[in-house]
Amino acid sequence: MGHGALGIGQGKGINLIFPFFPLPLSPCPLPMPHAQCPYLIRDFMETLEYFLPQVWFVILALFLFLYVMLDGFDLGVGILSLTSSDEERRSILMTSLSNIWDANETWLVLMAGGLFGAFPLAYATILNALYIPIFLMVFGFIFRGVAFEFRELANRKLFWNFAFGAGSFTAALGQGFALGAVLAGIPVDNTGHFIGKTWDWLNIPSVLVALTLIQGYVLIGSTYLIWKTTGELQETHYRTAKIAAWTTLIGAIFITITTPIIYESARSRLFQQPLVYIFAVIPLLGVWLIWQLLKSLARKEERAPFVWTILLFVLSFIGLGLIVFPYIIPNKITIYEAAADPSSLVIMIIFIGFLIPVMLFYNLYQYIVFRGKVTGDGYGK
């Protein structure tokens, strides 16, 4: 893969990019000496091979962010359902998700499909290295999906209540382990294939990342429920949001401190000029956002806590992106080495360019239609 495998400088390469608009090399289609035409095509191909992987890196980062933000509060609400004191409260929590949770998970499907098409080497290596965390995530999704549907029809809901909460927790835990393992780096050989062991992903840093991610999901789930509920249940989630804000902050501080200590590659990246100034500002902005979140919770605001939490997630993604780029597997495989042929990347961009606006409009329309409060009969009054 990478530049050496993409046929840079070969005359036929241009026809792979624009198969419907062939540009023959002879005679040269441009008003210049014939001898310069191959060099123009070579430069064009090199530009594409440099630019297209970056575009797809941004697209996949967008998909991942939208998934974490939207399905994050789904998982957070599922985890919080384990603490509900009665069936009526739990029903309100699950009703708040009933019309939106399926669409929220679509972004993960798009992200996985995009990774497979745009960076097939990374897709194969990550799945090979992270079978167990990914299995945990998929098992959690299946468990919570079945529980969500069966609970509504069951006379005895106790088992399905637990299954929904436990499935949400398991899915979040698998995602945290996978994220921690990818950030730590996956051992690969010279061809980019996984050469590590089955349990390499399980270590103290990945456990810390998993627990912090779960707290982040609980935080965004709590702020979402503040927005969607009323009365005593809303008061309960003001309290859970405050607790989750502090635990998320503590986890983020530990990750920020330990990452450059444990991983030399992260240390060299964090202290690289001029990124060191950006990385110095990001933790300060994070603390300020947490402070604003806590203030909004103290003032009993309904929508502001959710907005501040989303901004925290945005800031975290910016920091992760700056640490990882240009690697798709940190410090091992770059986006240029893992990228598919330029023709594949261009065709995928054409199709995804139509799909993204449709998905965004559909999600936005959902939230506008179901923007009201969720209450139970006689509850929250």
Q: Is the pLDDT of residue 295 over 80?
A: yes
Q: What is the pLDDT of residue 309?
A: 93
Are 181 and 196 spatial neighbours (Cβ–Cβ below 8 Å)?
no
Tell me the per-residue pLDDT of 218-247, one tens digit each, with 9 for 90 and over: 999 999 999 888 888 888 889 999 999 999
Contact 188, 125 (CB under 8 A): yes
Q: What pLDDT sits at residue 173? A: 94
Per the listing, tokens 């191909």 go with 45
What HEC string does 41-89 produce?
HHHHHHHHHHHHHHHHHHHHHHHHHHHHHHHHHHHHHHHHHCCCCCHHH
- For the chain, the residue count is 381
Q: How far apart are the first and last CA of the chain?
A: 62
pLDDT at 283: 87
Stretch 31-52: mean pLDDT: 61
User: Averaged over 154-173, what is the pLDDT?
Assistant: 87
* Beta-ladder partners of 188: 194
Which token pair is 158? 């106790």
Single-letter amino acid, residue 94:
M
Which residue type is seen at 50?
Y
Residue 217 has pLDDT above 90, yes or no: yes
Nearest to 287 by CA among 246, 321, 237: 246
What's this model's pTM, rounded to 2 decimal places?
0.82
- Residue 356 contacts residue 110 (beta carbons within 8 Å): no
Averaged pLDDT score across all residues of the chain: 80
Residue range 272-283: average pLDDT?
81
**Which CATH homologous superfamily contains domain 44-369?**
Formate dehydrogenase/DMSO reductase domain (1.20.1630.10)
Distance CA 151, CA 163 (A): 9
Q: Quickly state the pLDDT bin for 41 (edges 50, 70, 90).
A: low
CA 82, 85, 88, 92: dihedral to nearest 10 degrees?
-50
> Domain map of the chain by residue range?
44-369
